[in-house]
Amino acid sequence: MTILPTDSTIDIDRALGFAIPARSARGRIVRLGPALTQVLDAHAYPPAIEALLAEALVLAALVGSTLKDSDGQLTMQTRSESGVVQLLVCDYRGGELRGYVQYDADKLAEAPEQPTLFALFGKGYLAITFDLATTGERYQGIVPLDGDTLAEAAQSYFVQSEQIPSMVRVGMARAADGALVAGGLFLQHLPEGEDGRERLHTRLDHPEWEHVAALGQTMGADELADPALPLETLVWRLFNEEDDVRVLASTPLARGCRCTAAHIASVLAKFPVEERRDMADENGLIHVDCAFCSIKFPVAAEDVPA
């Protein structure tokens, strides 16, 4: 993993969209720094788990920032039957990211220093869920955790569940102070034309996509995670020979957990009064832990609204 100089702070915590109309392709490029550090510092995970969650948060930012519904939410969740990682959850909403991992410390101690995806999950699954606030719709796809990385599993999701040719790449590096910087690239080939025409994936070949994917494969992990390189520069490096590359909206990214005392009280209000009394300690306080930010919220049972 690359060690970055301490003064590389130019372009970070941002997602940038772009489109290549002549190739029927679109893309998204992301880089996380301080926002990623804030999520990770709340948990003090060992390096292998820290890197896994960092990759998941980059993927959530790449896919979530494509949502046209500004109040919509993307959630990524993994499940394992017998692996080191029992549960990984992260989500994206309105430019805000959060996530956490539940893992077996004893199994992790027996794993290699840089465990494979199979060593971490065994037989595992990745679920990607989209919740659209404007329509109330929810849809989900589930794929096996195959391949060497979470990025490969996410790529399989779009190929299998969405049936859209896609490419996902993620790169990580550490600053001199040990903080992780992570970046990602997401490319997709889009269906052509109006409703009723065949989708591109049904064709035996689609040279426009093969060209875009070949260029995307040249993007180095070190470039994705180097904050000294503006995201626009990376797009230009990949596609400067194209006649028309359109830069789309840029989205600032931040760590954001939606747990507040008021929100937790509203959740507790859904329980019967008797159950809330059973939850309370001798001082009449119900202690609620937020798995995302590792903050404990004491709520007085008598203050929970009816």
How do the domains of the chain map onto residue ranges?
A: 7-255, 261-303
Q: Which of 304, 298, 55 is nearest to 186 (CA)?
A: 55
Q: Is the pLDDT of residue 35 over 80?
A: yes
Q: Residues near 291 by Cβ (< 8 Å), separated by ≥ 6? A: 89, 100, 102
Q: Residues near 99 by Cβ (< 8 Å), separated by ≥ 6? A: 39, 53, 56, 57, 60, 88, 89, 90, 91, 292
For position 200, what pLDDT does the model report?
40
Q: Which of 242, 229, 148, 235 is nearest to 187 (CA)?
A: 235
Q: Which of 118, 2, 131, 127 is nearest to 52 (CA)?
A: 118
Q: Is the pLDDT of residue 90 over 80?
A: yes
Q: Which helix (H) or strand (E) element contains residue 93? A: strand 85-93
Is residue 1 very low, low, confident or very high in pLDDT (cuts 50, 70, 90)? low
Rounded Cα–Cα distance for residues 224 and 248 (Å): 18
Q: At what angle do helices 231-239 and 207-216 cross, to 10 degrees?
A: 130
Q: pLDDT tens for residues 261-286? A: 777 777 778 888 888 888 888 887 87
Percent of the chain topping pLDDT 90 = 54
49-63, 181-195, 265-279, 292-306: least confident range: 292-306
* Total-model pTM: 0.85
What's the chain's average pLDDT? 86
18-22, 123-127, 163-167, 260-264: least confident range: 260-264
Asked if 238 and 218 touch (Cβ cutoff 8 Å), the reply is: yes
Asked if 57 and 37 touch (Cβ cutoff 8 Å), the reply is: no
- What's the burial of 34, exposed, middle or buried (CB within 10 Å: 0-12/13-18/19+)? middle
135: left (phi over 0), alpha (psi -120 to 50) or beta: alpha
CATH of 7-255, one of 3.40.50.2300, 3.50.50.60, 3.55.30.10, 3.40.50.150: 3.55.30.10
Q: pLDDT tens for residues 161-213? A: 778 889 999 999 988 788 899 999 999 998 654 333 344 444 445 778 899 99
239-252 average pLDDT score: 92
Which residues on neighbouring strands pair with residue 75, listed in sequence order? 91, 129
Q: Is the pLDDT of residue 8 over 80?
A: no
* Three-class DSSP category at 173: strand
CA distances from 125 to 75, 76, 110, 282 (A): 14, 11, 22, 42
Q: Which of 53, 52, 75, 56 is nearest to 64 (CA)?
A: 75
Strands 254-255 and 96-103 turn out to be: parallel
What residue has token string 């039957």? 81
Q: pLDDT tens for residues 161-171? A: 778 889 999 99
Asked if 129 and 139 touch (Cβ cutoff 8 Å), the reply is: yes
For position 192, what pLDDT does the model report?
58
Phi, psi angle pair for 29, to nearest 5°: -130, 140
CA angle 14, 232, 38 (to 5 degrees): 20
Tokens of 228: 């000294």
